[in-house]
Structure 1
Amino acid sequence: MNKLIYGFIEENKLDILNEWIETTKDNADDRVLRVVSDQVFTSTSREFVDLIISNIKGTKEDYTSRLTDFAEKVVRLGWPLTFVTKGLHTFGEIVFEKMEKSELVTKDNQMEVIREFGAWMTPMNNEIVSVYSTTWEKTVSLQKIALQELSAPLIPVFEKITVMPLVGTIDTERAKQIMENLLKGVVKHRSEVVLIDITGVPVVDTMVAHHIIQAADAVRLIGAKCIICGIRPEIAQTIVSLGIDLNQLTTQNSLQKGIETALELTDRKIIVMEGAK
């Protein structure tokens, strides 16, 4: 990079940093300001400017490592990529304007300085976009895996009895996850009765009912019984109006009733001890 630009940034680092923080915060997206405190915003902004400057004087390996760490941090903070790239552009504008005011940029060298700025900023912008995008994709992928694991858990509650509580919308992909977890879990826990609790499923339409029936049929095929819990009145009305046949399934309106039924199916029952409240 042009020694003139490098020297100016080094000598005026603090002024550039303060102006950059002030300008960036004034123009920041509300999403950025809502998710972080002023202190975090300022400290992260300082880190970003230090990162830009480190690209001037640091080694390639050190800069890449710091850039990756920074990208992971801003992804966790929820900063959009446009905010980061705009911040880099703002940094370049501030430096250039300050150099003009200091008369370091003249008519004679203006085009040369602009070319030097382009040669410095463009590769850095491309690298920031690449690292940010890779980090974001990695984060989304990990979150998706975590959500899949949590979307259809099979929980043993008593010996031979397990519960699968379902919350949220059930689509085709999630239905496959439910089926897979059910079959693996029944074998793993040696379940004789499985309760599928749909209390937290907001809408039960033809597709959702079909997936639930398929899951229950699959459980029966491997030797276990299935009870559908959480059949609320509005869901019952929907099922009847859709003409869906649940005669082959045991249903209960609550998980408590379902567990009582499951205990009976495994020759057990809940006994209230004398003196117990």
Structure 2
Amino acid sequence: MRDYRQLPLEVDPPRHHLYRSALGPYFVRPTVEKSIPEFRRHTEALFNQYFSGASKDAISTLVLPLVMENLGVLYRRPQDVQEWISWGPDVWTAESPARDGKVLHTYLDRIYAEAMEGNHSDIWSELAILEIEGTVISADEFRGIAGVMLAGGRDTVVKLFTGMLWHFALHSEDLQLLRSNSALIPNAIQEFLRFLTPLPEMARTTTPETGARELPVDRYVGISFISGNFDEFVFVDPLRIDIGREKNPHLSFGFGPHTCLGNHIAEMEAKVFLETLVNSGLQWEIVDSKIRFHQSPYVGVPDGFESITLQKL
């Protein structure tokens, strides 16, 4: 149980805008684009390594290590990559000691102490002295920001990449379509984001009523992004992955003032990953998998991937 707010997710305007404005330079497209060569190097190396050996789980040996390597590049913390990998794809899941949220809290306390020493040139050292309205952020504010940056870019991107591998194993014709027409890659990325909806919903706790509809105080309310992504009034045949779908106003990054700050990171990581799959010339099949699917009406849509073992054809 954390005792600090996730920032800037859990604050309202005008302070919400102040946090986003201060953090924005780290997440804008020109900043992220500088990391693409390193993304590509890690992606190609891990992909080739995975398919050159015996069949094994793709999440633990390819996808999760890749996502963590990418974060290591972005945050200038390559020394932490192996530690991040050891947490698993979801640091808030307390299924084992290695995947307990306390592990993240301990890490945040440590890096904050290191950052305050002023001997490093990584993103944590810069965030520790971030100013909001002329005042340096507190330790709890640092934890709230860094926690979102670590947890938010893990399981969502892991699910996105794993979903791509899963889909192409079942529908190799879509992979061939991209190989014959690489101009569809941007469309494909948005379609995978829509269909897989890496974060299906977000829970919020009600407060004393301020809107038109009365809700009990202190109850959980779910914001369903997946319902918007499968709205039949917006999307034609939403239960099918359409690689060439042109109109795709999905809600996988949220919307409005709370649109995901890391959307450019996810899109560029996905572009490099998908280009690697397309350019590899390989095809693969599923040998074994543990996949949790959504219930009706989202039949056939993966909710989570526990494991997936692939074999090169």
TM over 0.5: no
Tell me which interval the TM-score lies in, with the shorter structure as reference length: under 0.3
* TM-score normalised according to structure 1 size: 0.23
* TM-score normalised according to structure 2 size: 0.21
Highest RCO, 1 vs 2 (Cα 8 Å, sep ≥ 6): 2
Rg (Cα) greater in structure: 1
Name the one with the larger helix percent: 1
